[in-house]
Amino acid sequence: MIDLRSDTATRPTEGMRAAIAAAVVADEQRREDPTVNELQERAAALLGQEAALFLPTATMANQIALKLHTRPGDVLVAERLAHVVIYEYGGPAAHAGLMVEAIEGQAGRFGVAEVEAVTVPSTKVADQRATLLALENTHNASGGRCWPLAELRAVTGAARERGLATHLDGARLLNAAIATGVAPAEIGGLFDTVTLCLSKGLGCPLGALLAGPAATMERAWREKHLFGGAMRQAGIVAAAGVYALDHHVERLAEDHARARRLAEGWHRAGLPVDLDQVETNFVQLDLGALGLEREHALALLREAGVGLSSTPHPGVARAVTHLDVSDEEIDRAVGLVPDALLSRAAA
């Protein structure tokens, strides 16, 4: 199957496996693992922050960040379809005791006016306050869309003026940086804390980083232990992260180019793809507009040898390009998907 369900589908390359095999390791919980320490230092610099913490997943990084910036009963402001709102199993409530004020965004984004509308200053009578703004870049549910730097500056500035802390779910921050031509440190440096995922476009088997000020990351160590995320010879996995930062960042542009080629091919063949929405490595395909039931259409595509997946938008599926998808496979998918769908759509 040409697996376009997610960029989490990658398997470690030969080079990455060699780096894993050669990793120098020690006890991470004692902060003695040199490979973990190296990855954390490199990630902090990359993300425009003082320090970083290696974690097993981006979900854990986000959830730790929520706890660092809030108290139970506080309000988290985020976009309605943000990963932290719809895909983390109620973590904001379960782990940090947060209420969520979800803003309806456009392509995962919203403006200063929306932030101001939901951050009414507290009164002595009512002190249920928004204390944290979490943004997502790229925004997964809207199809890997990017925030322009000026909008990020404006929205984080407005939040700060209102006394909110700011967190960036930058699981795919490097895709955004490559697509917009802005240094990741410039984007990450606008926030109090930043999550980066290693197991998506960067091609690692697992791993994520949470970056922020050194004092905040010291507090994050405690949360890492509490979540059961303090590991031992974790350099075995961190070595993949170091390798990915050396070899898999610039090449994200290739994934973006392949997504565009796929989108243009499908569009030419008559499939409902909005080319303007293709900014990084995602292509959204509106199966509902073809008159097809989504799960049925996804099953037809699987039979034809192409894996796509669902999105939170009714009737809309997505294709995601990544390290393990070649030009040749993109060319085949350009033909296979219209062949599998258009005859049924017309019927």
Task: Give the residue with the Cβ less far from ligand PLP, 83 or 162.
Answer: 83
Hey, what's the torsion of the CAs at 203, 206, 212, 218, to 10 degrees?
-150
Choose between 119 and 195: whose C-beta lies nearer to ligand PLP: 195
Using alpha carbons, list the distances in angstroms from residue 177 to 13, 201, 205, 262: 23, 13, 22, 21
Residues 245-304 binding ligand PLP (CB under 6 A) are: none
Cβ at position 59, least distance to ligand PLP in Å:
3
Report the residue from 199, 216, 284, 321 that binds ligand PLP according to the rule CB under 6 A.
199
* Residue 137 or 216 having the CB closest to ligand PLP: 137
Give 266 or 282: the residue with its C-beta nearer to ligand PLP: 282
Q: Which is nearer to ligand PLP, 78 or 190 (CB)?
A: 78
Site for ligand PLP in 29-58 (CB under 6 A): 57-58
Which of the 8 DSSP states describes residue 162? T
Decide: is 316 part of the binding site for ligand PLP (CB under 6 A). no
| Smallest gap from residue 205 Cβ to ligand PLP (A) | 11
Give yes or no for residue 240 binding ligand PLP (CB under 6 A): no
What is the DSSP annotation of 102-159? Answer: EE--BTTB--HHHHHHT-PPP-SS----EEEEEEESSBTTTTSB---HHHHHHHHHHH
Using the minimum distance from each CB to ligand PLP, give the nearer residue, 159 or 202. 202
- Alpha carbon 304 to chain centroid, angstroms: 29
Distance, in Å, from the CA atom of 39 to the CA atom of 175, rounded to the nearest integer, reads 19
Q: Which of 5, 67, 83, 294 binds ligand PLP (CB under 6 A)?
A: 83
Pick 61 or 292: Cβ nearer ligand PLP: 61
- In the range 54-73, which residues lie near ligand PLP by CB under 6 A? 57-59, 62
- Shortest Cβ distance from residue 118 to ligand PLP (Å)? 21
DSSP state of 206: S
Residue 10 makes contact with ligand PLP by CB under 6 A = no
Please count the CA atoms within 13 angstroms of the CA of 142 that sit on its side-chain side: 22
Query: For residues 99-158, which are near ligand PLP according to CB under 6 A?
Result: 136, 140
Instruction: Kindly tell me which residue out of 158, 197, 231, 306 binds ligand PLP, with binding defined by CB under 6 A.
Output: 197
Q: What angle do CA 33, 211, 282 make, to 5 degrees?
A: 110
Q: Angle at CA 335, nearest 5°, toward 276 and 254? A: 50
Residues 28 and 230 sit within 8 Å (Cβ to Cβ): yes
Alpha helices, DSSP H, located in the chain: 14-21, 34-46, 58-69, 83-86, 91-96, 112-117, 149-161, 173-180, 184-188, 214-226, 235-247, 252-268, 294-304, 327-346
Rounded to whole angstroms, the Cα distance separating 303 from 213 reads 49
- Count residues near ligand PLP (CB under 6 A): 12
Residues 202-231 that bind ligand PLP (CB under 6 A): 208
Q: How many alpha carbons fall within 13 Å on the CB side of residue 60?
A: 21
In the bound complex, what is the minimum distance in angstroms from residue 147's beta carbon to ligand PLP? 13
Pick between residue 57 and residue 119 the one whose CB is nearest to ligand PLP. 57
74/169 with CB nearer ligand PLP: 169
Taking the complex as a whole, the smallest distance from the CB of residue 300 to ligand PLP amounts, in Å, to: 25
* Residues near ligand PLP, by CB under 6 A: 57-59, 62, 83, 136, 140, 169, 171, 197, 199, 208
